[in-house]
Amino acid sequence: MSAGGETAPQTWKLKLYIAGQTPRSLAALSNLQKIVDEHLEARYEIEVIDLLENPQLAKGDQILAVPTLVKDLPPPLRKIIGDLSNTERVLIGLDLRPE
Amino acid sequence: MTVAAERDPGATRPLPKVPTGIQGFDEITEGGLPEGRVSLVAGAAGSGKTVFAMGFLVNGAEKYGDPGLFVSFEESSPDLETNFDSQGFDLKALEATGMLTLDHIRIERNEMEETGDYDLEGLFVRLGAEIDAIGAKRVVLDTIEVLFSAFTDEIIIRAEIKRLFRWLADRGVTAIVTGESGERHITRHGLEEYVADFVVVFTHLVNEETATRRMRIIKYRGSAHGTNEFSFLIDRRGISVLPISSLGLRHGAPTERVSFGIAPLDEMLGGAGPYRGSSVLVSGTAGTGKSSIAAAFVDAACRRDEKALYFAFEESPDQIIRNMRSIGIDLERWVEAGLLYIHAERPQTTGLEMHLVRMNREIEEFSPRVAVIDPITNLTSIGTYSSIRATMTRLIDAMKSKEITALFTSLTEGGDSSESTEIGISSLMDTWVLVRNLEAKGKRTRGLYVLKSRGMAHSNEIREFVLSDDGVDLRELPLGGGAPPATRAQS
């Protein structure tokens, strides 16, 4: 079911943009943790970026909505917006599910 | 009417306003946009929203020392710089001095996936950082409705746009948000017009190959505003609005008189010529010397060291100067001295309203004391009756408010019906002088008489009107006959 059975293992480079430690950011973070633990084991890097601390970083990835999870690698670039509560859609966004 | 609304006792505390510096706009809004509030500029693509919004920022930076932030959801910053360079706006220079920030927010719908609840705090953080970086006082968001197509959850977006408007107001910036015209609402999603404190709609109509731009203020919370449509123009000098109808009949009535430069004609008008700031119509059939009267009028003004603006809709400046030299009036020296400016244009080049907007701008820039429109009929042939009246009223009001004495020539068709064709504009005029060809005993002479002149005793005589190498003169017309008069009327 996971991305196993394919070629050499690769690393998912993810960035989670939040704006302060709001309940919604915390929910996104815990939802994300559950998903990667289950589907990516050790093949991931997560950087959490709090825009309230680094407002200038909103520009680079064109972040308007928060929380936004950016998948830098593997390509293509994807932005997964919201608290990541819909696991199925997160998996599609991370290319861990077809369609 | 508007006057009553302005004197409404409830509206005693004037709303603070921020001048846009856009010619005419600050007049029709009596000061500009509401300070510290969000204004909506709505219109179809190409209606001038972006030019208006950028003008607000550029003028803010250059004229009022207000740093500005322009956030584009559509055009990239280099595109904006290039486009506005051709408009004469040097955006790069303003950016270099920290008076302007351009930011392009690019949204790629196809790389996004929505999973659960979110808000647009990222946008707020970004705007907040940019506002703080230059201390922006003016902010433009062009076009905010892109957010609706970027995200699928319309409920969230509507709530967030409302929150954005409040947030901008809380930040104390004066903001313009632009929006595409919708079919059932002013904007496509019908949201921005409710949350904005000021709403203006731009239209761009093409009618019989002439393009007319208009703006109409739909809403001005806390302030009286006219509901009229105002014509405006966009060219290399930015936006220029033809305002004025808001002035109504509140202009003053100077008692000073202005000489026509033709002593006998002054004499016919209560002995001293028309009042300063009044409007004079000189009408007549072709070749009756209307332009010569206009030239004498201009010449007299320049001799008094007053600036004169001559709108020529039939002849080129060179042609006018040459023709007038033949009757002994040297206009060239006034042009060289900077006292006379001849603005020549073919009436067919654009619509009536655009002409009037352009004329209004020339008046604003040249600040003349007298003006000639020669002939007004070339303009009035390119509009409908009601639009001509409305726009002429505005032009005349504009000149009256500046105490510019204006002379309009009007070409009439031959025959006795001549007077009827001018009814539309003549009622707007204070003084009406008619010149006609008189034929008798195989000789053609020109007769001149004053049909009306408000507020002064005027002659009811018909005088013979003579053009010679020495200029323009009037003579007594022999009673009952066509024989040439023997003596000159003494001035």
Residue A52 predicted with pLDDT over 60: yes
Q: Which residue of A has its CA nearest to B130?
A: A56
Q: How far is CA B37 from CA B34, B166, B197, in A?
A: 6, 8, 6
Question: Number of CB pairs < 8 Å for A and B?
Answer: 99
- In this structure, whether the domain defined by B263-476 belongs to CATH 3.30.70.20 is answered with no
pLDDT of B311 reads 93
Contact B448, B474 (CB under 8 A): yes
Structure tokens at B323: 């023709």
Whether residues B114 and A81 touch (CB distance < 8 A) is answered with: yes
Mutate one of B121, B144, B157, B161 to test the A interface: name it (highest A CB count within 10 A): B121
Q: Does residue A53 form part of some domain?
A: yes
pLDDT of A68-90, one tens digit each? 999 998 888 999 999 999 999 99
pLDDT in tens, B267-297: 898 888 899 999 999 988 888 888 899 999 9
| Residue among A31, A59, A82 minimizing CB distance to B126 | A59
The pLDDT value recorded for residue B289 is 87
A77–B117: do the CB atoms touch at under 8 Å?
no
A65, A78, A85 member nearest B151 (Cβ): A65
Confidence of residue B383 (pLDDT cuts 50, 70, 90): low
Q: Identify the band that residue B4 occupies on the pLDDT scale cut at 50, 70 and 90.
A: very low
Alpha helices in B252-351 (DSSP H): 263-268, 290-303, 317-325, 332-336
Rounded distance between C-alpha atoms, residue B83 and residue B99, angstroms = 19
Domain ranges of chain B: 2-241, 263-476
From CA B485, how far away is CA B483, in angstroms rounded?
Answer: 6
In a domain, A58, yes or no: yes
What's chain B's average pLDDT? 84
pLDDT at B424: 66
Phi and psi dihedrals of B274, rounded to 5? Answer: -70, 165
Q: What is the pLDDT of residue B177?
A: 95
Contact A65 B120 (CB under 8 A): yes
With contact defined as beta carbons under 8 Å apart, do B436 and B447 qualify? yes
Same fold, B2-241 and B263-476: yes
pLDDT at B3: 42
What per-residue confidence (pLDDT) applies to A46? 94
Instruction: Give the separation between CA B63 and CA B66, rounded to whole angstroms.
Output: 8
What pLDDT sits at residue B461?
86
Residue B427: which pLDDT band, with cuts at 50, 70 and 90? confident
- Residue B369, Cα to own-chain centre: how many angstroms? 17
Show residues of chain A in contact with B128, CB under 8 Å: 55
Kindly state whether residue A98 falls inside one of the protein's structural domains: no
Domain, as residue range, for A86: 12-93
Q: What backbone phi and psi angles, to 5 degrees, belong to B189?
A: -105, 0
User: Which pLDDT does position B490 carry in this prediction?
Assistant: 42
Say how far apart CA B463 and CA B465 lie, in whole Å: 6
pLDDT band at B97 (very low <50, low <70, confident <90, very high): very high
Distance CA B92, CA A51 (A): 28
A-chain residues near B129 (CB < 8 A): 55-56, 58
> What angle is formed at CA B210 by the lines to CA B418 and CA B243, rounded to 5 degrees?
80
Specify which residues B201 forms β-bridges with.
B42, B216
* Facing residue for A65 by CB, picked from B106, B108, B119: B119
Count up the domains in chain A and report the number: 1
| Contact yes or no for A95/A46 (Cβ under 8 A) | no
State the CATH number of the domain containing residue A74: 3.40.30.10
Place B253 in a pLDDT band, splitting at 50, 70 and 90.
confident
Q: What is the pTM of this model?
A: 0.72
pLDDT at B249 over 70: no
Q: Does B103 touch chain A (CB under 8 A)?
A: yes
Q: Please check whether residue A62 lies inside any domain of the structure.
A: yes
Average pLDDT over residues B320-331: 92
Question: Regarding the domain with residue range B2-241, which homologous superfamily does it belong to in the CATH classification?
Answer: P-loop containing nucleotide triphosphate hydrolases (3.40.50.300)
Domain assignment present for A2? no
Question: Could you tell me which chain B residue has the CA closest to the CA of A93?
Answer: B113
| CB-closest option in B112, B121, B147 to A79 | B112
Question: Quick check: is A41 in a domain?
Answer: yes
pLDDT category of residue B6 using cuts at 50, 70 and 90: very low
How far is it, in rounded angstroms, from Cα B446 to Cα B103? 67
Note the pLDDT tens digit of each residue in B433-461: 988 888 777 778 888 888 888 888 888 88
How many angstroms separate the CA atoms of B484 and B299, rounded? 28
B78: three-class secondary structure by DSSP:
helix
Residue A1 inside a domain? The answer is: no
* 3-class SS of residue B104: strand
